[in-house]
Structure 1
């Protein structure tokens, strides 16, 4: 079956522009034996009929093996060669980094809001006549609890509808409810609005890393991921600094209103800078254009290289499978389980630190909210400096290890730099001095960034679902740790309590990192979802 003349040119089809409207569900599947970082997608496949896939190229190795493999009425839509300008990997550096910065801004503003009210907790307690310390901490932590729930749905949705509509829509949802927090008239309203705002703000944590996986090749991904993964750690550290001065010079309500204004600005910028990057969705738009131009005589099935069949699928079933995928990964994938457990502990510790700083410097040192906020600078310095070191070294180390491995890159190459974080991570008992906060921040960012990059490269096609599964565990910890912190510190004291936490971190982290570095490739080989293809050099 031939394409209409208006659509056929050099065995390809006309390109469709990358739109910004919410697309119809693409119902995409990863083809058998295919992965986004394999040569198939990065080198490109010319758009041809499925029955031509073997004849023209002389081999069936590049063609996905599906039930339509020998159906001459099926058109397979793929990238137009290795230099297809619509393939996100071939976009200009300026365009890719503009999107990366926009995604990082989305990822920064939400965690910033999670802790901005910490220095104003006393004002909120006085305003609503709250005397229970647990309830005060709940109004802060409830935001992070939503981080556990949101990605489980939003991550898979980004794999169905695309990254852009999920990120934009959820940021708008976050902005609206965060604005509502400033108008809350009771403690219950504040807690409810904070939870809803957290749901919207969780989208970048689920889909942001997947966007970078769409845009950057593995050997280019380190700097972009360093920027992105810094945002959810640096945001909570900067939040109390800004929130403390706002609360001291105005009211706690302006803490929410100011972040909503900032989120609104980012939303407007994102309209112009954030473009869809998920390959299956982009090719599905291309396939829709072909279907629309096929005449009745040439009617046939059209599918993309990411779909196993051109037959009509049950949308409800596919949606259910996509939503269940994070839970499936949590149960079936040891990589997700190990990193989820450790990152849960890391994220719990950082929120433990963030919520105990106001208590320490207000009750012991009698600082004002504005001065209390300044003590977060040490944590921020540690996060920023080590993030910059990581961004410089990560890609360099990855490329050298790839060269030693015969030009084949492995996700395990991302794990060596994690060892550098342990010297700082084990000093978490120095919680009171600001130098201790810097060491804590440095150790955490090195661990966090390395693990996030590993997850994206190990589960590129399902990166959003894998990140959602990991985010669930770490957000539960970030919600729960600050709630039990007062009782723990009152009973054990800061030195003993944090030494115990450091020991637990060591016991969890070292086996996970060393085990995956040694046996990670074998574990991925047994996985149903992880990337089994070596990331070889490809022509760009």
Structure 2
């Protein structure tokens, strides 16, 4: 699954139900039994209105456009990193201060709030409308960032831009699920998952050259220009993919055409109010985060991964400009180590994960369990402390720049690989509730992405790169390395005690 929590929502989208049948159903929200006279559904398994029956080329175009929407937001989150000293000087922000780093990381703080708002809204109004509105919101406020005159204005505009940018990461995986059946979904999801992993490291790579050659305002304007082009592509190529919304529109059209007010889709509830949808979407992830031990522990580890990633994004340029004497443009090229490592970890990790799962499932008599997702994590979790130690101490000693980059590449493999393992494990554990579990984890880790960079300068100035990264390596070692072994052994017992986890196994 994608690393940013894009989990298809738990609706039965199979092509069933005919028009004019009489049946009863139970409302899962109110536990009340409704008499249903006529349910509108897909016209058989080959209904062309079902997004999974669109032509493959059309589905790939939509998948790619959504992936680009998801890519541009993480780029915006980090592209200003190389220009921070110049921005701070113009806005009167003290160099090396918490406020300076906050002007970068506050964008990520909005990721904690965005999924809790945009997700429920997409249930009410469909994915397309919310995706378009949120991207235009992001485009407006990202552009306005270039006109900030005070630190407060920069913080507010960055936060609002991040709030809009959070929507594609919340909805993108669901769109992939709408378009592709489980048998087809692997390749599409692997393409989509590249965006949130590579985006954060691509931003500073480009931003370094912009900061070196033109005014700092262009780090925002360049993103807005690209996003405006993507938005035009969105208007042209994107269509609604959310089955409940499509069937609701179909039922509405048939009611109007026939005058039969009893016609409706299986997803329309006469007593379903928008406030209940919003409340459930906003609070259910928080409940998961508060009550589910599995979610709590892996949310903590994901927060460490996200925090280390954004701490590195914040400090990279300073390491290579101050200690290696490189220009901002050249220093920005080193972000390729993060991009390549994350890509290798995510893409290779996904394939290894599936291969190991199939092998263990076969050995278990054809029965699969969530714990079969953890052996890869046992290995990939070790790459973070190893890579951080190599990067920290070789940079501290000013060893040839390729060696610290190797350390960064190694711990970035861990970030991409661990991300994939953890999200897949959570999906397998919580089945129909996976969206809420992932949303809770995503919101929690956003706080780490916001908070870790705030103390970066003070930590490295006090301890140096060597001891500073040793502390981070120790945190990753203590929290991350025992986890897969513990949950491999005790996961079934914890799942059996949970009210929300799925105790069913795949067979």
TM-score (norm 1): 0.81
Instruction: Give the 3 Å change call, closer, same or farther, for CA 230–339 of structure 1 in structure 2.
Output: farther
CA-atom RMSD in angstroms: 3.1
User: Contact between 2:23 and 2:37, CA under 8 Å: does it hold in 1?
Assistant: no
**1:256 positional shift:** 0.6
User: Contact between 1:420 and 1:446, CA under 8 Å: does it hold in 2?
Assistant: no
Q: Does 1:131 align with 2:94?
A: yes
1:99 pairs with one of 43, 50, 62 = 62
Structure 1 stretches lacking a partner, 5+ long: 1-29, 54-59
**1:157 positional shift:** 1.9
- CA offset digits 1:273-327 (Å, max 9, x no partner): 32322222222222323332343xx5436341x46xx443333333323322222
User: Contact between 1:154 and 1:166, CA under 8 Å: does it hold in 2?
Assistant: yes
Q: Which whole-Å CA distance do the structure 2 matches of 1:65 and 1:496 have between them?
A: 55
Give the number of aligned pairs. Answer: 485
1:300 pairs with one of 262, 267, 271 = 262
User: Contact between 1:287 and 1:303, CA under 8 Å: does it hold in 2?
Assistant: yes
SS of 1:366's equivalent in the other structure is coil
1:191 corresponding residue in structure 2: 155
1:338 corresponding residue in structure 2: 297
**1:52 positional shift:** 5.3
Task: Pick which of 448-457 and 190-199 moved more.
Answer: 448-457
Instruction: Give the 3 Å change call, closer, same or farther, for CA 336–196 of structure 1 in structure 2.
Output: same
User: Contact between 1:74 and 1:300, CA under 8 Å: does it hold in 2?
Assistant: yes
Q: Which whole-Å CA distance do the structure 2 matches of 1:158 and 1:530 have between them?
A: 24
User: Contact between 2:137 and 2:161, CA under 8 Å: does it hold in 1?
Assistant: yes
1:77 pairs with one of 40, 44, 50 = 40
Structure 2 stretches lacking a partner, 5+ long: 1-8, 396-403
User: Contact between 2:17 and 2:39, CA under 8 Å: does it hold in 1?
Assistant: no
1:18 corresponding residue in structure 2: none
Q: Which whole-Å CA distance do the structure 1 matches of 2:202 and 2:145 have between them?
A: 20
Q: Which whole-Å CA distance do the structure 1 matches of 2:280 and 2:451 have between them?
A: 29
Q: Which whole-Å CA distance do the structure 1 matches of 2:495 and 2:256 have between them?
A: 40
Q: Does 1:351 align with 2:310?
A: yes
Q: Which whole-Å CA distance do the structure 1 matches of 2:360 and 2:51 have between them?
A: 25
Q: Which whole-Å CA distance do the structure 2 matches of 1:205 and 1:230 have between them?
A: 12
Task: Pick which of 128-137 and 114-123 moved more.
Answer: 128-137
Matches within 5 A, 1:266-277: 266-277=230-241
Q: Does 1:430 align with 2:390?
A: yes
**1:420 positional shift:** 3.7
2:342 pairs with one of 379, 383, 387 = 383
Q: Which whole-Å CA distance do the structure 1 matches of 2:29 and 2:55 have between them?
A: 29
1:210 corresponding residue in structure 2: 174
**1:146 positional shift:** 1.3
Q: Does 1:176 align with 2:136?
A: no
Q: Which whole-Å CA distance do the structure 2 matches of 1:83 and 1:519 have between them?
A: 43
- CA offset digits 1:116-165 (Å, max 9, x no partner): 11111121122223224222111111111111122221122223322222
1:12 corresponding residue in structure 2: none
Instruction: Give the 3 Å change call, closer, same or farther, for CA 416–90 of structure 1 in structure 2.
Output: farther
SS of 1:302's equivalent in the other structure is strand
**1:182 positional shift:** 1.3
- CA offset digits 1:63-105 (Å, max 9, x no partner): 9997446x3x532333344444333344443333322222221
- CA offset digits 1:15-74 (Å, max 9, x no partner): xxxxxxxxxxxxxxx9xxxx55xxx644x3232555358xxxxxx99x9997446x3x53
Matches within 5 A, 1:72-471: 74-133=37-96, 134-295=98-259, 299-300=261-262, 302-304=264-266, 306=267, 310-401=269-360, 410-427=369-386, 428-431=388-391, 432=395, 433-456=404-427, 458=429, 463-471=434-442
**1:470 positional shift:** 1.5
Pick the structure with more helix per residue.
Answer: 2
1:11 corresponding residue in structure 2: none
Q: Which whole-Å CA distance do the structure 2 matches of 1:462 and 1:285 have between them?
A: 26
Q: Which whole-Å CA distance do the structure 2 matches of 1:529 and 1:517 have between them?
A: 19
Q: Which whole-Å CA distance do the structure 2 matches of 1:291 and 1:405 have between them?
A: 51
SS of 1:144's equivalent in the other structure is helix
Q: Which whole-Å CA distance do the structure 1 matches of 2:445 and 2:346 have between them?
A: 20
SS of 2:39's equivalent in the other structure is strand
TM-score (norm 2): 0.86
**1:496 positional shift:** 2.4
Q: Which whole-Å CA distance do the structure 1 matches of 2:501 and 2:231 have between them?
A: 33
SS of 2:49's equivalent in the other structure is coil
Instruction: Give the 3 Å change call, closer, same or farther, for CA 486–229 of structure 1 in structure 2.
Output: same
**1:345 positional shift:** 0.7
SS of 2:61's equivalent in the other structure is helix
**1:335 positional shift:** 3.6
Task: Pick which of 133-142 and 83-92 moved more.
Answer: 83-92
User: Contact between 2:346 and 2:419, CA under 8 Å: does it hold in 1?
Assistant: no
Instruction: Give the 3 Å change call, closer, same or farther, for CA 159–65 of structure 1 in structure 2.
Output: closer
1:484 corresponding residue in structure 2: 455
User: Contact between 1:245 and 1:373, CA under 8 Å: does it hold in 2?
Assistant: yes
